[in-house]
Structure 1
Amino acid sequence: MLRNSDHGFGTVTIVLHWTIALLILGLMLIGFVMRRTEIDPALQFSLYQWHKSFGFTALGAALVRAIWWLVERSPRPVPGLRPLEHVAARETHRILITLGFLTPLAGWAVASASTLNIPSFYFNIIVIPHLPLPQSDSSEAFWAFTHALLAYAMLALVVIHAAAALYHQFIRGDAVLMRMLRAGSRPSHAEAADLREAMKPLPGGNDP
């Protein structure tokens, strides 16, 4: 099932979710390694180019994810999810989607504002043009700080998001995590019971 249903996420949402998650974690890892001063300069340059290439990929995926999130319906909350938990989960998703777009965009700004004016080779296929930003040390420093701040904020939210999913899976025992692992999930026993209860005829409803 490609699209979301009332009881679970569709294949498109799941693929986008895990693709962006892997890209974020990979970008964080490359980002930490490439800034180490003791590595070979040639390797460092390659890592920067890989970081930018995957960053542009993450930017495109985040844009698609944001559009899909706006036009696609969301499944109903799992039974037993308190209103505050539902609001927190919804707002966390919104912030993650926003950060998933803004963080690589800020990285693009770093490359654009750098006085080194190094081209951004997208997997050695095409050159991504710079953003129309002034190139100066102060501008590069500002965007580098912004990029790092957004990246750390997103990493913190990802950790909280993952911890909450594991909590729901192993402590609460509900279907929050399974919804993002299996497309077209059927309603849980609790959801099915709620549906059956809602479909019961009212007392005396069939009386003439």
Structure 2
Amino acid sequence: MLRNSRESFGLVSILFHWIIGLIFIGQIVLGYLMVRVSDFTLQFSLYQWHKSFGFLILGLSAFRLLWKVANPRPRDPQSMSPVERVAAHGAHTILYLSLFLVPLTGWAVASSSPLQIPTFMFNLVVIPQLPITISDAAEAFWTASHAWLAYLSAFVAVAHILAALHHHFWQRDAILMRMLSPTAAKSRQEAFKLTGKSS
């Protein structure tokens, strides 16, 4: 099942979710490491990889957004309270915005830096700089914006993961399973119906 249903996400949405999520986590780790290495050659390579994966996230997120518009989101399970629904949709909104704002502010950092170091995306193509002010002050502003947005999105992502685990192990609904397999959520719901634990 490639497309979403009313009960579960389709294979395309699942792949977008996990691929972008894993790259995003890798970017947090890479961003932490690259500013702490002392070897200039290694640091340059890490920066280039960080920027390359940032543009990859930006591109994948654009396609994911188009797919999201064309596919209905599965309905929330009845076990979710109104507060949980608002919190979940708020977290999803923040994460979606972060997938665009964090790479864009990173692009702005590279574009505003007086050093004007080119971005070699996976050593295949040079990414042009944004037409923004080039100065130390501008670079500092975009660097701080990029870092704080990354911290915020990381915090929300951790909360998102914990909420999914809470639903899976405590609420025992299909929230997590529907993002693992198009058929796993249905199987879990049917199993709970048999045991009288379904939401």
Q: Same fold (TM over 0.5)?
A: yes
Counterpart of 1:202?
Answer: none
AA of the residue aligned to 1:13 = S
Question: CA–CA distance in 2 between the matches of 1:30 and 1:178?
Answer: 29
Counterpart of 1:182?
Answer: 181
Counterpart of 1:10?
Answer: 10
AA of the residue aligned to 1:129 = P
Q: Kindly, what percent of the aligned residue pairs are identical?
A: 49
Gaps of 5+ in 1: 194-208
Runs of 4 or more, structure 1, over 6 Å off, are 190-193
AA of the residue aligned to 2:88 = A
AA of the residue aligned to 1:98 = L
Shift of 1:192: 7.0
Mapped contact 2:79–2:171 kept (Cα < 8 A): no
Matches within 5 A, 1:42-53: 42-53=41-52
Question: CA–CA distance in 2 between the matches of 1:164 and 1:99?
Answer: 19
Structure 2 length-normalised TM: 0.91
SS in 2 for 1:4: coil
Mapped contact 1:7–1:76 kept (Cα < 8 A): yes
Matches within 5 A, 1:19-168: 19-36=19-36, 38-168=37-167
Mapped contact 1:65–1:97 kept (Cα < 8 A): no
Question: CA–CA distance in 1 between the matches of 2:84 and 2:151?
Answer: 23
Between 156-165 and 82-91, the greater mean CA deviation after superposition: 82-91
Shift of 1:87: 2.1
Question: CA–CA distance in 2 between the matches of 1:191 and 1:10?
Answer: 22
Matches within 5 A, 1:185-200: 185-186=185-186, 188-189=189-190
AA of the residue aligned to 1:70 = V
Shift of 1:39: 2.7
Gaps of 5+ in 2: 195-199
Structure 1 length-normalised TM: 0.88
**Larger Rg: 1 or 2?**
1
Q: How many residues align?
A: 192
AA of the residue aligned to 2:137 = S
SS in 2 for 1:186: helix
Shift of 1:3: 0.6
Larger relative contact order (Cα-Cα within 8 Å, sequence gap ≥ 6): 1
